[in-house]
Structure 1
Amino acid sequence: MLGGGTLVAVNVYASATEGSSDQQTGQTAQVLSAPTVYCPDVGSRLTTVPDAARADVDDELARLDQQIAAAYQQLKEQAAAIQQDPGAADGTILAPLKEKRSESLQRIADAIGRAGERPQGLDDLAACTLRSSDQGGGQSASPQDSGAPSQSASASASAGAGTGSGGQGGNGPVAADYADITTVQPDAATPAERSGGSTGTFSSSCGVNENGLFNSDNVIVAPGVSNGAHHFHDYIGNQSNNAFASDDDLAKADTSCADRGDKSTYYWPVLRLQNGKQERDADKPGGGTEGNAGQIVTAKQVTLTFEGNPTSKVTEMPRLLRIITGDAKSFVNGPANANASWSCTGFEDRQLKDKYPLCPKGSDVVRTFRFQSCWDGRNIDSANHRTHVAFEAADGSCPAGFEAIPQLVQRIVYAVDAPSLADGGRTVPLFAVDSFPEQLHKPVTDHGDFINVFDEDLMRKMVDCINSGRTCGAGAGEQPPSQSAEPDPSESATPQDPPSDTASPVTEPSDTGAPAETGNAEPSEPATEPSEPATEPSEPAAEPTATENGSGSTGLPHVYTSASPKKSSGTGGVISKPTDRPETQAPADAQSPAGAAPAGQETPPGTAPQTEPQAVQGDLAETGAHLWPAVFGGLLLAAGFVLLWRTRWRSS
């Protein structure tokens, strides 16, 4: 009786509390991952800045990003207290942040005022607020301004990797950030080219960053500032990519491109598996200390294609033209400048803007950037890095005063498995791009950067090739085949099928910068090898000591240590509304949330991904399957009563 009773009590208690630790962890993670710091983006409001003020303005813009990152770290550290008293954040986080931002904004206004007309209205951008992860979208609550998914904060915060729902870094991604690509409706057909258009393509082959060139700088947005991006970038092409690279450094640099005439720099946020791996940036700014954690994934294939214009011939890009596509802060800014899209091989007629794709077995994740293809004819950069270029209209025409240039299309393929959302990525890890801490690794924040360092002769050849309707370039043989055909359903499992015992390994860079080759599942569409191998740099990159400045240091090696940052031209200091930018173009309508079938269709049984993890909770109805020891204990207890009764009956 004692043994059976003890067994019953212990098993019931253990089963009932089995999910309580996970549940408590989920509640804590919800506090960590749901709220984020929203501050108006100052850089995008400055349409022009005098050349003499650019260095000071760039430094202050980088300092504003540091202030937000520090405030977000405070938010995580004080999560428990803020959960008890939400108003506590006003005094401990938001008020000090507003004071620091006001000082930086004052210095920006002073710098511009010394060189030109002092901007008005900067003080209105000082105040910040806290927002839950189902909010976003700049300063307006209107649907067109919202860059956040429609799921509630509690639902979004309830799924993640590792120990909680906020992802390995405690700030995303969540299950609601993913969607089954098989439930997404195909995109509308692209309009046919008109007479007089340019139908050729030119491709460059620059590798997949096999040598592991990473840093958390951004020489376009924050020149001369270490860790100006607050997240890590992959670099291919130009090998002199860091915040301190001058125009001269870029022109003299080595390149990973097969055609030595292409020294352009191509970079984008790294993709990571949230699998607990400690990368070399695990305890560095831009990496683990800012919520960017896990294994960096080396792309399986990268194609760089320059396309024409459907209505006109294209003109040459000016040397050192800088283009940024997408918005790294679009989760809080709103999606007006969001421009990356996600899909799967075999399904590329279906593109996701605000979700990561869940690809069927045998299909790889595809990440695509289509850069702006209209140029103002004068400037290689602008104060907000946007107004000197623009997107073509729906009919292919450029805005008044702009001319068509070759459009860069970057297609990046990753051999990563669909994560196991049902257990929060424990079985198969979640994947996500690096982001600013407060952006919560949302896919809508994805972005790409490009600096044109083509030789002038090669640029002329590119334009002639495109305008004459030919296919040219060192990477022409790498272009993907038609993506309209889907994998055979009989041979492709859905993303929710149980994974194998081990997730597909990926190539990862070693500490020395050389990639360590590992096995991978045989892909359904093998990457085509480059027509000629990328030439290795003539000498290894130097590893200088970390450079200290007002922003701190990443503590990671840079290729070059010192150079004066490039300063763009500008005249005057004007603040514009986000809608005043000529290139502003809202992305396609958001696709169906994870697990939802397209309108008018039923979700195939067993294929729709769950939007929340099916974690075990603490009540007996959900843990009954684990109570068999208690049943056995109950039988022992009953047998003991019977034995006791029979013994007493015989003795009487």
Structure 2
Amino acid sequence: MGKERRLLTLVICLVLGGGLLAAVLGASRAAGPHRGAAGARPAPSDYVDIQDVPRISEPIPAQGPDGSAGSVVMDCGRNEEGHYNEDNLVVSPGLRAGAHHTHAYVGNLSTDAMSTDASLDAAATSCRGGDRSTYYWPVLRRTDRPGSRPHENSAGHGNTGAILPEASVRVEFRGSPVSKVVAMPRFLRGMTGDAVAYTAASDAEVRARWGCSGAPDRPTTRYPRCPEGDRVTRTLVFPSCWNGLDTAGEGHRSHLKFPAADGVCPRGTFPVPELRVSLSYAVPAGAPMALDSFPEQRHSPKTDHGMFVNAMTERQMAGVVACLNEGRDCRM
């Protein structure tokens, strides 16, 4: 009986030990090539000298006879108001500090987790033309400088350092190369990029586009090391094919899709104005920088993302659509 008990104990230990080993290996695989605790600074491999990034000409689909070749730039400033919070109205509405990192905003000056369509509609805006839409993204920080201002220490979760203010913010809408665009519905929610790209199973949702102002033909998904005098750039391109039904969708993506490389929208969707938010930062050459992220994402540059809520009036949106469809370049 004693031998049988010892044998049973040995079998149980082997089973438990195997499970523990599998768990450790699984966690190691999930952590990827980075090392260190969650919330640690980016790995050296997350940075790249911009001269080592291959030149890539952005494929521009041929403009068809039915295309909408115009563009509309919204003059919304560069967050001179210091509008920051740790909320995410699109992904976590009603949840204070639901983002676990800090977002910067232009446009609607009231946006936070508790915003509603009605509150957005009644708020002031940084956009000179009166657009009350909200446009926002995670902040970029210098990790070699401690934060001392509001929102520089409040996010926690390993997001530390002085927030780098945007040197410029360009909010632009573009048309479709293959057809006219239709109006976005009021209070349409949209997002681009993958905030959990570091631990995701694939890069399917990665839309990060980093670069240097002096080398616009060298986009990268890594933090660029730019020459002295160049600005670090981020470009957030949003999906522009709407299902015609919903202002929000499952996973915050099902109602808005990206067009194919030739500009054609997926079946069952319609082209709406394509939003592009272009950001630039004055970062001294060699200064360490890191994007705010969830702790387990290790500040990976691939996790860059952005959100918006369209709060334009129907008249304002009609003006955007007309400008795009008529092939004009406008400012609003």
**What TM-score comes out, normalization by structure 1 length?**
0.46
Distance 2:137 2:96 in 1: 17
306, 325, 328: which one pairs with 1:470? 328
Counterpart residue number, 1:256: 126
Of 269, 273, 278, 2:138 maps to 269
Q: List per-residue Cα deviations over 1:226-285 (Å, max 9, x = no partner).
A: 11111100011001111111111111111010111x00000000000002313334553x
1:198-597 pair list within 5 angstroms: 198-260=68-130, 262-279=131-148, 280-281=150-151, 283-284=153-154, 287=155, 289-333=156-200, 334-353=202-221, 355-419=222-286, 428=287, 430-474=288-332
2:85–2:151 Cα contact (<8 Å) kept: no
> Deviations 1:614-643 (Å, cap 9, x if unpaired)?
xxxxxxxxxxxxxxxxxxxxxxxxxxxxxx
The superposition leaves residues 335-367 of structure 1 with CA deviations (integer Å, 9 ceiling, x where unpaired) of 1111120011121111112x1111112211110
Larger Rg: 1
Please give the alpha-carbon distance, in whole angstroms, between the structure 2 residues aligned to 1:132 and 1:211: 42
Secondary structure at the counterpart of residue 277 of structure 1? coil
Distance in structure 2 (CA, Å) of the matches to 1:232 and 1:251: 24
Decide whether aligned partners of structure 1 residues 245 and 473 sit closer, same or farther in structure 2, where only a CA change above 3 A counts. same
Task: Give the corresponding residue for 1:131.
Answer: 28
C-alpha distance in 2 between matches for 1:383 and 1:466: 29
Looking at structure 1, the residues matched to 301 and 184 of structure 2 have their Cα atoms a distance apart, in angstroms, of: 29
Equivalent in the alignment of 1:538: none
1:134/1:417 Cα in 2 relative to 1: closer, same or farther (>3 Å)? farther
The residue type paired with residue 218 of structure 2 is: R
Q: 1:313 to 1:176 in 2, by over 3 A?
A: same
Query: Greater share of strand residues, 1 or 2?
Result: 2
Q: Deviations over 1:102-143 (max 9, x none)?
A: xxxxxxxxxxxxxxxxxxxxxxxxxx95236762xxxxxxxx
SS at match of 1:130: helix
Counterpart Cα distance in 2 of 1:90 and 1:171: 25
Counterpart amino acid of residue 253 in structure 2: R
* In 2: Cα distance, 1:256 partner to 1:304 partner: 12
Measured in 1, the distance between the counterparts of 2:159 and 2:20 equals: 26
How far the C-alpha of 1:192 sits from its partner, in A, is 2.4
Offset at 1:216? 0.8
Distance 1:409 1:213 in 2: 20
In structure 2, C-alpha distance between the alignment counterparts of 1:281 and 1:452, rounded to whole Å: 25
- Following the alignment from structure 2 to structure 1, what is the Cα–Cα distance between the partners of residues 20 and 78? 45
2:4 aligns with: none
User: Cα offset for 1:418?
Assistant: 3.0
* Offset at residue 194 of structure 1 (A): 1.8
List structure 1 segments (4+ residues) > 6 angstroms apart after TM superposition.
none
Give the conservation status (yes or no) of the 8 Å contact 2:30–2:199. Answer: no
Decide whether the 8 Å contact of 2:39 with 2:296 is kept in 1. no
Evaluate the alpha carbon distance shift between residue 465 and residue 283 of structure 1 in structure 2; reply closer, same or farther with a 3 A threshold.
Answer: closer
Q: Return the match for 1:178 from 20, 38, 47.
A: 47
The CA distance in 1 between the partners of 2:197 and 2:251, in whole Å, is 15
**Count of matched residue pairs:** 311
For residues 453-490 of structure 1, what are the alpha-carbon distances to aligned partners after superposition, in whole Å with 9 as ceiling and x for unaligned? 0111111011000000000123xxxxxxxxxxxxxxxx
**Helix, strand or coil at the partner of 1:411:** strand
Give the aligned residue type for 1:275. D
Q: TM-score, normalised by structure 2?
A: 0.88
* Amino acid in structure 1 at the alignment position of 2:119: D
**Deviation by residue 1:590-634 (Cα, 9 ceiling, x = unmatched):** xxxxxxxxxxxxxxxxxxxxxxxxxxxxxxxxxxxxxxxxxxxxx
Task: State the shift of 1:172 in Å.
Answer: 2.0
Partners of 2:295 and 2:78 in 1: CA distance: 26
**Counterpart AA for 1:363:** D
Conserved 8 A contact 2:170-2:279: yes
The answer (yes or no) to whether the contact 2:152–2:163 under 8 Å persists in 1 is no
Deviation at 1:191, TM superposition (A): 2.9
Task: Looking at secondary structure, tell me which structure has more helix per residue.
Answer: 1
SS at match of 1:384: helix
- CA RMSD, 1 decimal: 2.2
Secondary structure in 2 matching 1:332: coil
Matched-pair contact (CA < 8 Å) for 2:152–2:162: no
Unmatched tracts of structure 2, length 5 or more: 1-16
Q: Are the counterparts in 1 of residues 153 and 160 from structure 2 also a CA contact under 8 Å?
A: no
